[in-house]
Amino acid sequence: MNKLRIGIAGLGTVAQGVLDLVRTNGSLMTSRTGIELVVQRIASRSVKPGVDLLGAVFSLDVHDLVADPEVDVILELIGGEGLAKELIESALAAGKPVVTANKAVIAAHGDQLLAGGKVLLRFEAAVAGAIPIIQSMNQGLAANRIDAIYGIINGTCNYMLTVMEEEGLVFDQVLSQAQELGYAEADPTFDIEGIDAAHKLTILAALGFGTSYDYSALYVEGIAQITVEDIQYAKELGFKIKHLGIAVQSEVGLETRVHPALVPVSALLASVNGVMNAVQVVSDGAGEILFSGPGAGGAATASAVLADVLSLGSLFVAGPTDAAQSQVQGTPSSCAVSEISRVAMDDVFSACYLRIPTLDRPGVFAQVASTLSAHSISIEAVIQKEHPGGDGSVSIVIMTHIVVESVVNAALTELSALDSVVGEIIRIRVAPTH
Ligand code: HSE
C-alpha cells in the first residue's frame, strides 16, 4: 500500500466535500487503487472549528502547503484567479502535482499553466462537477475526431429555466428561490450572465478541438432576457429553452458560443432538468454520447477532485521524479498543434426564434414580414397572441429558417426602429443538430 499525502487549500464547500468523502470512502479508495490518502495539511484564511480536519495540520497561509515536504499533492480549492494561480504556479515549480476545481483560472491561464506538456496539473472538477468529462475526452474518446460539444454546464441557469417552465414563476422570483436553496450565489452574475458556462466551454473546446485556453474568444450571452412567455411559446413550437455551451466544427471553422438556445423537445438534452448538467459529445467513431449528472455541490465536486488525486497518485507513488518524467497520461494538453480558426459570431448560421412586441393595429404584421423579407429571411412559423400584460400590445413570435447572424442583426435593427415595435425584440437561436 502506498501513502499519498494531500494538502488542501481552502475550506469551503468543495474542500469539506473532499474531507467527507475521504472519511467515508477512504478505505474503499485504498482497496481499489492501493493508495492510502492522508490529509496532511489544510490551509485556509479562516478557521472553521466545526469541520473535522481528519488530523491534518492547519495553516492560515496556503504557501505552507508548498513548503511542507510532507505534502505530496496540492488540492487548490480556493477559487478565483489571483491567489489560486499563484499557488498553482509555485506548487508546479516546486515539482508538486496540483488538482484544481477552478474553471476560471484554467479558462484564462491554461496555456501558460500547462505549457511544456509534462505538467502534473489536473482539473476534472472544473467542468460539470461529478461528470468525468475531462477524463472521457482525454482518454475515452482519444481515438475520435470531435465534431461537436453541446453542454448544459451551468446548474443555476438550468434550474432557473426548469422552474420557470414548470411553475410559471418569473425570472426574479426563481432567482430568489435558487438563492434560498443555495443553488445560486448571493452574487449570481457569473452564472446568469453565462460567464461560468463560458469558462467550462473554454476548457471543453481546448480538449476537443485543441484551441487555446482563451475564454475571451467565446461569444457569451446569459439568461436574463428569457421570460416565461418565451418558454411557453417555445413549447408551442416544439422546443425547450436551455442555456447551452456550443463548440461545433463547421466547414469554415470552429464556433464557440454560450447562449440560450431552442432545443427540440425530443432531443436528449431537453430532458436534462433542474440543477443537472449534461455534456453531449459528437465524434466520428463513437457517435453521439450524452454524459449527465450533478454539476455542483460539495460531494459531487469532491468525487471529481478525488478521481484526479487518485489518478495522479498512481503515477506519483512510483516516486515524484519518475512521475514528473514519465509520460503524463491524463494530464490535459496545453495549446494545440495549431490554432483552429474560430467563426466570428456574425458568420454563424442558425434558425431563430424572434419575439417582437408590437402595437395591435392593422398592417403591423405585414410590416414585420416585409422587413424580414427585405433581408431575405424566410419565415417557418408564426404565433400571435395578446400580450399577457394587457397593455394593448401583442407579441408576434416568428421562427425563421436558417439564416446568418449578421443578416438577422441588420433585420432586428430595422425592426426595432419601426413605430409599431414597442419593446425589446428577443432573439433565441435554435441549437444546431447533428
Ligand atoms: N455555479 C455553478 C453552477 C457550479 O451553477 O453550475 C460551479 O461551477
What residue has cell string 394587457? 390
Test site for ligand 1: of 160, 187, 191, 279, most ligand atoms within 8 A of the Cβ: 191
**Tens digits of residue pLDDT in 304-342:** 999 999 999 888 666 655 555 443 444 555 444 456 799
Calculate how far, in angstroms, residue 274's C-alpha sits from the geometric centre of ligand 1. Answer: 12
Mean pLDDT across 4-30: 97
* Domains defined for the chain, CATH in brackets: 2-129+297-334 (3.40.50.720), 137-294 (3.30.360.10), 346-430 (3.30.70.260)
Residue 76 Cβ contacting ligand 1 at under 6 Å: no
Lowest-pLDDT range, 158-167, 313-322, 367-376, 396-405? 313-322
Residue 154 Cβ contacting ligand 1 at under 6 Å: yes
- How many C-beta atoms lie closer than 10 Å to residue 276's C-beta? 20
Q: What is the pLDDT of residue 321?
A: 53
Calculate how far, in angstroms, residue 243's C-alpha sits from the geometric centre of ligand 1. Answer: 13
- Contact assessment for residue 21 and residue 10, using Cβ atoms and an 8 Å cutoff: no
Enumerate the β-bridge partners of residue 36. 3
Amino acid at 433: T
- Contact assessment for residue 138 and residue 330, using Cβ atoms and an 8 Å cutoff: yes
Test site for ligand 1: of 14, 156, 192, 292, most ligand atoms within 8 A of the Cβ: 156
Residue 432 Cβ contacting ligand 1 at under 6 Å: no
DSSP letter assigned to residue 378: P
* pLDDT tops 50 at residue 190: yes
Q: What is the pLDDT of residue 186?
A: 77
Mean pLDDT across 66-77: 97
- Contact assessment for residue 278 and residue 151, using Cβ atoms and an 8 Å cutoff: yes
Mean pLDDT across 11-39: 96
Q: What angle do CA 171, 159, 18 make, to 5 degrees?
A: 135
Reduced to 3 states, what is the DSSP secondary structure of residue 154?
A: coil
Reduced to 3 states, what is the DSSP secondary structure of residue 370?
A: helix
pLDDT band at 185 (very low <50, low <70, confident <90, very high): confident
pLDDT band at 109 (very low <50, low <70, confident <90, very high): very high
- DSSP assignment of 403-424, as one string? EEHHHHHHHHHHHHTSTTB-SP
Q: What is the pLDDT of residue 181?
A: 85
Q: What is the pLDDT of residue 332?
A: 55
**Tens digits of residue pLDDT in 227-277:** 999 999 999 999 999 999 999 998 889 999 999 999 999 999 999 999 999
Report which ligand 1 atom has the smallest distance to the Cα of 296.
4
Q: How far apart are the first and last CA of the chain?
A: 47
Contacts of 231 (CB under 8 A, 6+ apart): 161, 164, 165, 240, 241
**Given CA atoms 399, 402, 406, 411 in this order, what sign does their dihedral have?**
negative
**How far is the C-alpha of 330 from the C-alpha of 347, rounded, in Å?**
35
pTM for this model (two decimals): 0.93
Calculate how far, in angstroms, residue 386's C-alpha sits from the geometric centre of ligand 1. Answer: 37
Contacts of 23 (CB under 8 A, 6+ apart): 52, 54
Residue 296 Cβ contacting ligand 1 at under 6 Å: yes
What residue has cell string 394593448? 392
- Contact assessment for residue 117 and residue 94, using Cβ atoms and an 8 Å cutoff: no
pLDDT band at 116 (very low <50, low <70, confident <90, very high): confident
Residue 124 Cβ contacting ligand 1 at under 6 Å: no
- How many C-beta atoms lie closer than 10 Å to residue 180's C-beta? 9
Test site for ligand 1: of 154, 160, 203, most ligand atoms within 8 A of the Cβ: 154
Mean pLDDT across 108-127: 91
Q: What is the pLDDT of residue 391?
A: 72
Residues tagged active-site? 200
Residue 313 Cβ contacting ligand 1 at under 6 Å: no
Label residue 182 exposed, middle or buried (CB < 10 Å: 0-12, 13-18, 19+). exposed
Calculate how far, in angstroms, residue 343's C-alpha sits from the geometric centre of ligand 1. Answer: 27
- Contact assessment for residue 372 and residue 401, using Cβ atoms and an 8 Å cutoff: no
**Tens digits of residue pLDDT in 82-101:** 999 999 999 999 999 999 99
**How far is the C-alpha of 154 from the C-alpha of 193, rounded, in Å?**
10
